[in-house]
Amino acid sequence: MWHLAVPKSSERGVIMSTARCVWRTMLLLGLFTGLYAPITNNLSAQMLGLSEATIEDINAAFNSGTLTSERLVELYLARIQAYDQDGPRLNAVLWLNDQALETARILDEERRLSGPRSPLHGIPVALKDNIDTADMPTTAGSLLLAGSLPPDDAFIVERLRNAGAIVLAKLNMSELASGVTMSSVGGFIRNPHDTERSPAGSSGGTGAAIAAAFAQLGIGTDTGGSVRGPTTANGIAGLKPTHGLLSRDGIVPLALSFDMAGPMARHVYDVAAMLGVMTGIDPEDAATSKSADRFETNYTQFLDVSALGDARIGVARDVLGQDTEVDWILEASLEAMRAEGATVVDVYFPQWLLDIKGDWYTTIRWREFRAQIPEYLATIGPEYPKTLKEMVERSMEITSLTPEGGTPNPTRWSLLRQEEESGTLDDHEYIAMKNYGLPMVQSIVAGLMDAQNLDAIVYPTSPTRPSLVNGGGGGVSATNIANLTGFPDLIVPGGFTSDQLPVGISFLGRPFSEPRLFGLGYAFEQATKVRRDPKMTPPLLGEEIRR
C-alpha cells in the first residue's frame, strides 16, 4: 500500500516614507508583478504551469476533458522522482501511496458517471507524518514509532477522502514535531529555494513538498509556529486555524492546548478550498465544539480582491529589526495594502507578554506532551512505547543500534528526557498558566485589536530569512502568540530577499475570523503576486495544464 520514498521610534517615519519609494521600485522591477517569475507564467491564458494552477484551474481542466486525475497524479509522481528521490534530493517525502494511481482511476470514472463529490475530487494531497492514515505508516518521523500503522484515518483525513481527495504521500518532519528540521526516520529536509537552507519546522517536509509541487495540497500541524515557519521559509500560503476549528483526532499530540492542523498550498484559493472540507464537529475532540455555528464548509466564497479597500490593518513592530531585508519586505507589503485602500496603524504587544511568551509556551507544552502522548500511544500496537518514560528508554537503545535506513537524532531524544522530567498537569505553575495566563493573553490581544477596530495584525511570519540546514533558530518571532491565544494566522508570500529567499506575511485575526482573513490575504496575494517556483525544482517538460 505504501513504500519509502526593530527600528527606533525616531526612525519609523523615515522608514515608512522610504518604504513607499521601495514599493514603487519593486513594482517597476517586477518583484510584485511576476516579471521575473518562471517561464510558465508567460503561457497563454488557456495554459498554466502545474505549480501555477489552482484547484479552480484544475477543475476547469477536468471539466473540459483536457486533464484526468490519473494524469495529475502521474505529473506529481514524476516531480517527486525528479527532485526528491533524484536531483537536489529534498528528502521531503517519507512514504508514497501505492494505490494513488488506482484511486485516481476510480475517481475519474466516478466523475464521468456521477460528477465530482467536491472541488477536491481527484486532487492529490500530501500529509505530515504525524497525521494518521490507515494505509500508510504514521511515525511522526521517529524510529520510536517505525512502521506503526494506525487503526484508522485521522478525522481530517477521513473528511478529505470523503471529499474525493487522494492521499498521495506522507511527509518528513521535525521528529515528534519539535527540534531541528530532521527526523530519525528520514534525516534532514532541504529547502527547494536553496538546499543549503532549512525549510523550517516542524512541518518542513510539507512546506518543501508543496513549494516544489510534489502535490496540489498539503497538511501540516502547528503548536508554536510549525505550519507558519515552513510556509514562509518555502514561499507558499498556509493557515494556522482558530483553536477548535479542526479536529486533532488521529494526530500525534505535542500539546493539545496549542495543537492545530493547518492547510498549506501554493495559492490562497487552495488553502481556503481545503479548509472547508476538513471542518466539522468531532465527538472525539471536545475542542471542536467551540466551532459550532461558527465553521464554514466553503471558505472560497470569502475570497475578495477588494477586501483591503475598507480594512484596518495593525502592524506589529515589536519583532522587527532582526533582518533589514525582511523589514523592508514588510514595509513594501504594507505600502501595497495602502495602495489597495487599507488603513495601516502601528500596534505594540505589552513588553511583559513578549518577555514571558516563550517560557509560558514551553512550560505548558512540555507538561502536556508528557501527559498526552500516552493517550495516542495506546491506540497503536503493543510493540511500541506506551509512556514518555518508555520512549526515553527506547531512544537510548536505538542510539547505540540504529536500524538500517534510520538516522540517530540525539538532539531530539535528549529533549525527550527533559520533557519526561518537566512535571505534571497538577503543578501549580501549569494550572495558573493554563487557567489564568492563557485567557489573559487572549483578552489582551483581542483588546489591542478592539481598541483600534482592526481586521488583522500583520507581521513578518519569520523575522529573519531561513536558517542554514541544522543552523538553529531564526530569530524571535511573534508566531506563538497565535498559539497562546488560539487565534487564526494566515500566511501569504510577501517577497524575496536579495539572495532569493522567500519572506511571508502573517495576518493574525480574531477567533473564527478565517472568512475575513481569507478576503484580506487573497486581496494582498492578487495585488502583489510575488510567489515564484523554487530555483532547485523548475517545471518539467510536458506538465502544463490546459484549462
**Which tens digits make up the pLDDT trace of 255-268?**
999 999 999 999 99
Whole-structure pTM over 0.95, yes or no? no
pLDDT value at residue 11: 38
Mean pLDDT of 159-165: 99
Return d(Cα 141, Cα 130) in angstroms, integer.
7
Range of weakest confidence among 15-24, 183-192, 198-207: 15-24
Q: Is 46 helix (H, G, I), strand (E, B) or coil?
A: coil
* pLDDT of 117: 99
Contact 142, 129 (CB under 8 A): no
Which is more confident, 476 or 537?
537
pLDDT digits (tens, 9 = 90+) for 303-337: 999 999 999 999 999 989 999 999 999 999 999 99
Domain residue ranges in the chain: 2-546
Does domain 2-546 fall under CATH 3.90.1300.10? My reply is yes
Cα distance between residue 67 and residue 369, in whole Å: 45
pLDDT at 547: 84
pLDDT digits (tens, 9 = 90+) for 454-468: 999 999 999 999 999
Whether 26 shows a pLDDT value over 70: the answer reads no
Residues 333-350 have a mean pLDDT of 98
- To the query of whether residue 257 is one of the catalytic residues in this protein, the response is no
Q: Report d(CA 430, CA 292) in Å as an integer.
A: 28
What is the rounded CA–CA span in Å between residue 31 and residue 16? 19
- Cα–Cα distance for residue pair 413/399, rounded to 1 Å: 9
Q: How confident is the model at residue 137 (pLDDT cuts 50, 70, 90)?
A: very high
| C-alpha 144, offset from chain centre | 25
Q: Is the pLDDT of residue 192 over 90?
A: yes
**Residue 40: band (very low, low, confident or very high) from pLDDT cuts 50, 70, 90:** very low
Confidence tier at 9 by pLDDT (50, 70, 90): very low
Confidence of residue 19 (pLDDT cuts 50, 70, 90): very low
pLDDT class of 8 with cuts at 50, 70, 90: very low
pLDDT confidence tier of residue 411, bands split at 50, 70 and 90: confident
pLDDT of 180 strictly over 60: yes
Q: Provide the pLDDT confidence category of residue 2 given band limits of 50, 70 and 90.
A: low
Quick: pLDDT tens for 97-120: 999 999 999 999 999 999 999 999
CA distance 236 to 467: 17
The active-site residue, picked from 198, 226, 291, 422, is 226
Q: Given this model, what pLDDT does residue 476 score?
A: 65
Quick one: cell of 84?
526528491
Q: How confident is the model at residue 45, as a pLDDT? A: 55
Q: Tell me the C-alpha distance between 329 and 325, whole Å.
A: 6
What's residue 472's pLDDT? 59
- For residues 1 and 99, the answer to whether their CB atoms sit within 8 Å is yes
Spatial distance between the Cα atoms of 318 and 349, rounded to a whole number of angstroms = 7
Give the residue-averaged pLDDT of 430-453: 98
From the list 69, 174, 202, 333, the catalytic residue is: 202
Mean of pLDDT values over 198-210: 97
Distance CA 373, CA 415 (A): 14
Q: Indicate if the pLDDT at residue 10 is higher than 50.
A: no
Q: Are 461 and 231 in contact (CB under 8 A)?
A: yes
Give the pLDDT confidence score for residue 16 in this predicted structure: 41
**Active-site residue, 184 included:** no
Which pLDDT score is estimated for 405? 55
- Asked if residue 18 has pLDDT above 80, the reply is no
Name the nearest CA neighbour of 185 among 388, 408, 377. 408
Q: Work out the percent of the chain whose per-residue pLDDT is above 70.
A: 89
- Residues 225, 479 contacting (CB under 8 angstroms): yes
Q: Are 262 and 243 in contact (CB under 8 A)?
A: no
Bridge-based pairing state of the strands 312-316 and 343-347: parallel
Look up residue 75 and give its three cell numbers.
505529473
Question: Is pLDDT at 403 greater than 50 in this prediction?
Answer: no
Whether residue 358 contacts residue 366, with contact meaning beta carbons closer than 8 Å, is answered with no
Catalytic site includes residue 357: no
Q: What confidence score (pLDDT) does residue 413 get?
A: 83
Tell me which H or E stretch contains 373.
helix 351-377
294-303, 328-337, 352-361, 519-528 — which is least confidently predicted?
Answer: 352-361
Residues 6+ apart with CB under 8 A from 500: 193, 194, 535
Residue 431 has pLDDT above 90, yes or no: yes
Q: What amino acid occupies position 146?
A: A
Report, in this order, helix, strand and coil percent for the chain, each rounded to 5.
45, 15, 40
The single residue of 128, 170, 240, 357 carrying the catalytic annotation is 128
What crossing angle do the helices spanning 324-339 and 9-29 adopt, rounded to 10°?
70
* pLDDT tier for residue 400 given thresholds of 50, 70 and 90: low
Query: Average pLDDT in the 511-518 region?
Result: 99
Mean pLDDT for the chain? 91
Is 401's pLDDT higher than 80? no
Q: Residue 507: which pLDDT band, with cuts at 50, 70 and 90?
A: very high
